[in-house]
């Protein structure tokens, strides 16, 4: 089996994890999540690259850039989940399987957070398990790649 590479994209304000609303998002930092992803990928014979941006255009650009080197995407669009047609279109355009991930359960939050514009461009969504949501999303992406 060829090496598998997954791009992990973190949207706006996720750089503040660990201190931002810990009752909602937990106390795990983004660096800790990224280290956990690297460890889990390595244990499965895969690699990950992580990227965080507060800027929509940078996330769109990175989605386009990883198309040539990644076999799947794990993405937490954060607030752009509910607003970004551009991210949704980029995910559709590159044609890579993508898993949307959220730390909190969007359906237990404010009504405006319950609609995802990006989810239809993804194969699935994992939400509500804190940092573990990322690890479950990586597992799903790698399982999918193994099945194809």
CATH 3.40.50.9100 fits 4-147, yes or no: yes
Cβ neighbours of residue 4 under 8 Å, at least 6 residues apart?
44, 45, 46, 47, 71, 72, 142, 145, 146
The whole-model pTM stands at 0.92
- pLDDT, position 12: 97
- pLDDT, position 67: 95
β-pairing verdict for 4-10 and 46-52: parallel
Question: H or E element: which one contains 7?
Answer: strand 4-10
Distance of CA 107 to the CA centre of its chain: 18
Counting as low any pLDDT under 70, the low residues of the chain are 1-2, 107-110, 112-114
Domains of the chain, residue spans? 4-147
Report how far apart, in Å, the C-alpha atoms of 107 and of each of 17, 101, 111, 127 are.
20, 13, 8, 9
Secondary structure (3-state) at 6: strand
So which residues are the catalytic ones? 25, 102
- pLDDT, position 116: 83
């Amino acid at each position: 089996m060829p090496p598998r590479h997954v791009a992990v994209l973190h949207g706006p304000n996720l750089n503040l994890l660990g201190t931002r609303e810990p009752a909602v998002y937990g106390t795990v930092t983004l660096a800790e999540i990224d280290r956990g992803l690297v460890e889990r990928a390595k244990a499965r014979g895969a690699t990950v690259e992580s990227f965080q941006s507060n800027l929509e255009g940078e996330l769109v650009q990175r989605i386009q850039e990883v198309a040539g080197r990644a076999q799947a995407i794990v993405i937490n669009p954060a607030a752009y989940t509910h607003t970004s047609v551009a991210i949704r279109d980029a995910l559709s355009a590159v044609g890579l399987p993508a898993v949307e991930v959220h730390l909190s359960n969007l359906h237990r939050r404010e009504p405006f957070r319950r609609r995802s514009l990006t989810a239809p461009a993804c194969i699935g969504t994992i939400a509500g398990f804190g940092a573990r949501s990322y690890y479950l999303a990586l597992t799903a992406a790698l399982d999918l790649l193994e099945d194809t």
